[in-house]
């Protein structure tokens, strides 16, 4: 039967409110999508899901992002240290290379935060934090002077973005253990505090990371109660390294490009409940400082 064959009166037009519903729904979806897109500008996770490389260059760590640094090899890339044994408080040199999927040392890296590779070293009890920038040789071997002051197990994180043969960029954080001979007693984590004072400078932070929700963390630097002018360090007003107690899962977060009320603001999602150590690097009067905090996520 065709439409012309149907009998009976023509159906009444739908009410005006019914005709407006699709328009309202479309507007709601557009607004929701815009909000989600805004959130995504703060979420840079690993380019290799499940590779153990939550490489967070760019503001924040998005919901569901994995921590990095748990593996020595991921996505076809392998961290190969030349030596992992050091003497306590004895100057040494850490050398390592990153082998690519073809088994040869990677020599092409993207510059991120003014450096092709960031090296973070910490003892397994989360003391002794160091943020270093090694030198890359023509043979793909990285090297940096390293002094580990105390005996015990240490770990280093190579935080980088490799440039693949096809030109694509592969952000990864790989980790390996170091050992310093001698007896040691692990230190308990310091108490949870929101303020840090050192060298006459005070740092206080506001905000509370949550699992599955991106939240702001704002760090304000002061001296005798007055805000301190901050200088850019590695292309930003600060850098935040967050390391989880236990497995030493690693996050490296960069802030918003401008200060907010004089504070350095980061966007962070806690990858899990637990305790973390936060290391906030900043520069003032030509000197780099690090404020340290214990964070507990419930």
210-225: per-residue pLDDT in tens? 999 999 999 999 999 9
118 found inside a domain: yes
| Contact in structure between 221 and 233 (CB atoms under 8 Å) | no
Same domain as 133, residue 165: yes
28 found inside a domain: no
Same domain as 203, residue 140: no
pLDDT exceeds 80 at position 1: no
Q: Of 154, 180, 206, which marks where a domain is finished?
A: 180
Structure tokens at 247: 């497995």
Same domain as 139, residue 108: yes
pLDDT exceeds 80 at position 205: yes
Same domain as 251, residue 169: no
Please give the pLDDT value at position 65: 52
Same domain as 247, residue 170: no
Q: Indicate the DSSP class of residue 233.
A: B
218 found inside a domain: yes
HSE-up (13 A, CA, CB side) for residue 55 = 27
Share of the chain above pLDDT 90, in %: 77
| Contact in structure between 254 and 58 (CB atoms under 8 Å) | yes
Query: Which run of H or of E encompasses 172?
Result: strand 169-180
125-184: per-residue pLDDT in tens? 999 999 999 999 999 999 999 999 999 999 999 999 999 999 999 999 999 999 999 999
Please give the pLDDT value at position 66: 74
Q: What is the pTM of this model?
A: 0.80
156 found inside a domain: yes
90-115: per-residue pLDDT in tens? 999 999 999 999 999 999 999 999 99
Same domain as 128, residue 207: no
**26-30, 194-198, 237-241, 285-289, range with the lowest pLDDT:** 26-30
Neighbour tally for 163: CB within 10 Å: 16
Share of the chain above pLDDT 70, in %: 78
**What's 207's domain CATH number?**
2.60.40.10
Q: What angle do CA 276, 279, 283 make, to 5 degrees?
A: 165
What's the total number of domains in the chain? 2
Q: In the structure, what pLDDT confidence band is assigned to residue 123 with cuts at 50, 70 and 90?
A: very high
Range of the domain at 105: 73-180
pLDDT exceeds 50 at position 262: yes
13 found inside a domain: no
Q: Of 131, 154, 180, which marks where a domain is finished?
A: 180
Please give the pLDDT value at position 7: 39
Sheet holding 92-99, edge to edge: 73-74, 77-81, 92-99, 141-146, 135-136
Same domain as 204, residue 176: no
Same domain as 173, residue 99: yes
Same domain as 199, residue 292: yes
């Amino acid at each position: 039967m065709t439409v012309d064959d149907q009998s009976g009166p023509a159906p009444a037009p739908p009410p005006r409110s019914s005709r407006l519903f699709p328009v309202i729904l479309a507007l709601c979806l557009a607004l929701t999508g815009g909000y989600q897109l805004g959130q995504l500008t703060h979420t840079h996770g690993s380019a290799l899901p499940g590779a153990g490389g939550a490489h967070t260059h760019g503001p924040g760590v998005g919901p569901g992002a994995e921590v990095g640094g748990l593996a020595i090899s991921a996505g076809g890339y392998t961290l190969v240290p030349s030596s992992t044994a050091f003497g306590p408080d004895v100057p040494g040199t850490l050398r390592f290379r990153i082998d690519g999927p073809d088994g040869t040392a990677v020599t092409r890296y993207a510059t991120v935060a003014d450096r092709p590779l960031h090296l973070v070293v910490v003892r397994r009890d989360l003391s002794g934090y160091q943020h270093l920038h090694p030198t890359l040789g023509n043979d793909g071997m990285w090297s940096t002077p390293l002094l580990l002051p105390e005996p015990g197990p240490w770990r280093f994180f190579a935080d980088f973005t490799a440039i693949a043969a096809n030109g694509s960029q592969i952000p990864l954080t790989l980790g390996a253990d170091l050992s310093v001979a001698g007896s040691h007693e692990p230190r308990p984590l310091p108490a949870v505090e929101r303020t840090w004072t050192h060298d006459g400078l005070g740092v206080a932070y506001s905000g509370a990371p949550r699992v599955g929700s991106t939240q702001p963390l704002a760090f304000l630097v002061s001296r005798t109660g007055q805000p301190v002018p901050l200088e850019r360090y590695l292309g930003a007003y600060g850098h935040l390294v967050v390391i989880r107690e236990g497995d030493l899962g690693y996050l490296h977060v960069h802030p918003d490009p401008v200060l907010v009320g004089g504070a350095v603001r980061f966007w962070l999602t806690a990858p899990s409940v637990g305790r973390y150590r936060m290391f906030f690097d900043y520069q003032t009067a030509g000197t780099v400082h690090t404020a340290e905090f214990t964070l507990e996520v419930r």
